Structure 1
Amino acid sequence: MLNFSDIKNLLQHNKITDFVKLNKLTPRDVANFANRNTQWAAKLFQQLDPKHAARAFKFLRPKKQEQIIKSLPEEKAAELLNSMQPDDRTAFLEDLSGNHVKELLKILTPENREETLELLGYAEGSVGRLMTPDYVSIRKEETCAEVLAYIRQRGQATETLNWLFVIDEKGVLIDDINIKDFLVVDPATTVAQIMDNQFVALNVNDAQKEAILVFRNHSRFALPVIDDKGVLLGIVTLDDVLRLAESEGTREIQKIGGSEALDEPYNTIPFTSLIRKRAVWLIILFLGEMLTATAMGHFEDEISKAVVLALFIPLIISSGGNSGSQASSIIIRAMALGEIGFKDWWRVMRKELLSGLVLGTILGVVGFLRVAIWQRFHLYDYGIHWQKVATTVFCALIGVVMWGTVSGSMLPIILKKLGADPAASSAPFVATLVDVTGLVIYFTVAFVIMRGTLL
């Protein structure tokens, strides 16, 4: 197993025998080295076999891909691009500027150029940008022997042979068949005899996130892609969907944490970009928290009359914020998995209202006991009306936690319905909202319970 220093030494020696060792590296090892060693990345890709280089190229960061293509001689760049799978080549080209794409299209073979231009014609973020046209299509009148003979001749040019796709004379998809079904029957059996006329397909205009859900619900290595008329256009393979799911999951987690998606690994993102993506949300949340100070100013008289109330402000608002953050994270993930949608809002609200009531009661009991125990053992003197203080804390925690769970669960659903990103209702955003409203709930409860005594 070669480490980074070994690879660098092999490139420095510049011997043909050393380059053979480089082609034995796994695609991931090549990509890891290239991502971390800008100076040697282009030279490494120059020495690799084009097909091996193409397999490693798709694991590189977008900026690194662009740097390497620009650094390679035109002949090597052409070999690399023409050796890539159509979907991988499209994913690379769609992130480049128009002028750069135009220049690179010139070095593609006529067939690859036509294929790439067709794929680039689909909307960004659609299944069309994810698919590859490299698949095996067959006719129902063919025999299994003919199908297997065709695979032996042309199978190397396809991305996967796990599934074969049956089309009619107009190219409309009518079935998909696992290749194992051809291996266990008599060679004279026709395709029509083993068809079940049941298949799952993606629409070329579907959002790529939909592809993740379909793959999750069906145990498949590849799925066909059709247009609105049912014509087979290509396939989407599991490796592309897994990379997409990883990317989408990372973006959602970063948004839930209260920042913009970084769109590249943490250890390589420029410091200025890191600050910019985090500062925007921090400013928004800071301005939101300023409303908390405004709310406290509104209840200044109550605080001055019953200073003891101020002791429990952090306890009350943090409990509401924590419950809201919990609910928000759970609902966002459930929506991402397709478990719930807008139609389920009432069921979600009922469940979260009950959850908030139970959780609030549990915390309220703990808060009540906190006041009672401290008073009983003289750890703090809450005065002669300590029972009302404890009751206020108890009731306020129930109200704030219930409001937090409802807010945290409903915000993602509402934003999704409005066409916004549910992850935008992140934990910090919900916490800020509940902080402000939690103060209002707390002091309203205090005014009702303590009126005529401390207030």
Structure 2
Amino acid sequence: MYSTKTKVKFKNIIQREDWRLLKTALEELDPIQVAQLIESASADDEVILFRLLGRAHGREVFKLLSHQKQEEIIEGLAEKSQIISKLLNDIKPDDRTAFLGELPGKVAQRLLQYLSPEKRSITNKLLGYSKDSIGRLMTPEFVAIKSFFTVEMAFAHIRKYGRDSETLNVIYIVDEDWKLIDDIRIKELLLASPQQAIKELMDNRFIALNANEDQETAIKVFRDYDRVALPVVNEEGVLLGIVTFDDIMDVVEEESTEDFHKFGSFQTAISNPLKTRLFSLYKNRIVWLMALVFVNIFSGAALSNFEDVIQSAVALVFFLPLLIDSGGNAGSQSATLMIRSLAMGEVRIADLYKLIGKELVVAVLLGTTMALGVALIANFRAPEIMAVVALTMIITVVIGSLTGMLLPFIFTKLKLDPATASAPLITSISDICGVLVYFSMASWLLA
């Protein structure tokens, strides 16, 4: 991590226009530190910093930058076509595809012209896969050998073609039609006799991903099988490329951010509120908030039907926020747990009825514990409504917990993202139910 002092140091060097010192200072930082420095730099400074990086250093730094910074760098280098060409041709195919795939079509097409014919063909092929497919993540830079190779022949092949491979931890074995038939760890090759045939080392057990499957499938497979890389095949089993663990971690981070924003009722993800335009921040938040305003009108309508009860026991109003907030909080907790479990594949739709029973028991225990606490408070402030407050607490916590658990399942069943079952929606439902339960209970017990 670089410090504020480091940031000021580089800013001063740029202001003095001491480019030789700046280049030397940048070379002393690792790619992560340079990326952090560029992320915090102004639009003018970020281009200066990036241009002074060596070719290999720049390639590593560019990969670590946010998509927004990558775009700004490319725009800043717009008049330096040679630099752009080197940069786009140098970065890995999967990183290049991820970058171009997020750009407007016309901009992406313009940048494609900077690629060599071979790399343009590879990039167009990868961009041809749907946005959230595994095909978009894969890189064609891997090493494959044939089963009739000896170990010695395999190492000669690896030395010849492995320099640009994304990883050499695993070597893939294909037949004459390039269909994947096995994979083998480099450790096994190192420990084998040089004259031993590769087919003698094969066990014909391997895990492969389909290029057209959703990226969430890859996340689950990586987690279940603890691999650093996995092969990607087409419908016929032909080896197309590989997906590495770092690419999967990027997807996990993106999906976690997206789910977080959905759970907070944002229309679209906001990468950085400091750099997002004022109107965009407003637009991304107002739609759901306005919808929830109208949902919460039902709470007001419910309250108006209990005016007589409120007038007869004004102390009821004191406990109202506490009770409905408790239901909403319990619901949000339950929803967070279910959304994560569904996303990770730990629970399925078929598990719904088992989970309802379990959640019901947990919710009753939670509600009872919380009811004891609120009853103690009510005993000192308004003993006459102690039973109403305690029973309402139990019921609202149960309703909130079950609502929070059920909504993600309902959204999943409807083929919608379960993260859309956002905290504000759950809270609004809990509020309405809480008001109805509270004052209905008061009308019944205090009549």
TM-score band w.r.t. shorter chain:
over 0.9
Counterpart in 1 of 2:178? 171
Shift of 1:20: 5.2
Shift of 1:126: 1.0
Kept after mapping to 2: 8 A contact 1:78/1:107: yes
Q: Distance in 1 between matches of 2:239 and 2:198?
A: 17
Amino acid at match of 2:7: F
Residue 4 in structure 1 maps to residue 7 in structure 2? yes
Shift of 1:362: 1.7
Residue 199 in structure 1 maps to residue 206 in structure 2? yes
| SS at 1:174 equivalent | strand
Residue 239 in structure 1 maps to residue 235 in structure 2? no
Counterpart in 2 of 1:63? 68
Q: Distance in 2 between matches of 1:397 and 1:407?
A: 15
Residue 395 in structure 1 maps to residue 391 in structure 2? yes
Shift of 1:305: 3.2
Amino acid at match of 1:205: N
Shift of 1:56: 1.1
Residue 54 in structure 1 maps to residue 34 in structure 2? no
Q: Distance in 1 between matches of 2:235 and 2:28?
A: 44
C-alpha offsets along residues 2-46 of structure 1, whole Å, 9 cap, x if unaligned?
93344456662233x863553453222222222222212223333
Q: Distance in 2 between matches of 1:197 and 1:8?
A: 57
Task: Give the alignment's TM-score, normalised by structure 2.
Answer: 0.92
Residue 34 in structure 1 maps to residue 38 in structure 2? yes
* Equivalent of residue 102 in structure 2, options 81, 95, 110: 95
Q: Distance in 1 between matches of 2:265 and 2:90?
A: 40
Kept after mapping to 2: 8 A contact 1:256/1:425: yes
Task: Give the alignment's TM-score, normalised by structure 1.
Answer: 0.91
| SS at 1:234 equivalent | strand
Kept after mapping to 1: 8 A contact 2:129/2:135: yes
Shift of 1:193: 1.1
| SS at 2:193 equivalent | coil
| SS at 2:162 equivalent | helix
Counterpart in 1 of 2:143? 136
Shift of 1:435: 0.4
C-alpha offsets along residues 273-307 of structure 1, whole Å, 9 cap, x if unaligned?
23332333322333322221111012223223333
C-alpha offsets along residues 138-159 of structure 1, whole Å, 9 cap, x if unaligned?
1111111111111112211111
Residue 112 in structure 1 maps to residue 119 in structure 2? yes
Residue 278 in structure 1 maps to residue 280 in structure 2? no
Deviates more, 1:210-219 or 1:302-311: 302-311
Kept after mapping to 2: 8 A contact 1:141/1:191: yes
Counterpart in 1 of 2:401? 405
Amino acid at match of 2:133: S
User: Once superposed, which parts of structure 1, at least 4 consecutive aligned residues long, lie more than 6 Å away?
Assistant: none
Deviates more, 1:29-38 or 1:394-403: 29-38
Counterpart in 2 of 1:442? 438
Shift of 1:364: 2.2
Q: Distance in 2 between matches of 1:229 and 1:174?
A: 12
Amino acid at match of 1:347: K
| SS at 1:157 equivalent | coil
Residues 442 and 132 (structure 1), Cα distance of their counterparts in 2 relative to 1, 3 Å cut: same
Kept after mapping to 1: 8 A contact 2:10/2:22: no
**1:19-418 map, 5 Å:** 19=23, 22-37=26-41, 38-72=43-77, 73-372=80-379, 374=380, 380=381, 382=383, 386=384, 389-418=385-414
Shift of 1:251: 2.3
Kept after mapping to 2: 8 A contact 1:166/1:176: yes
Amino acid at match of 2:73: I
Residues 210 and 293 (structure 1), Cα distance of their counterparts in 2 relative to 1, 3 Å cut: same
Q: Distance in 2 between matches of 1:166 and 1:24?
A: 41
Q: How many residues align?
A: 439
Q: Distance in 1 between matches of 2:329 and 2:49?
A: 50
Structure 1 gap ranges (5+): 375-379
Shift of 1:410: 0.4
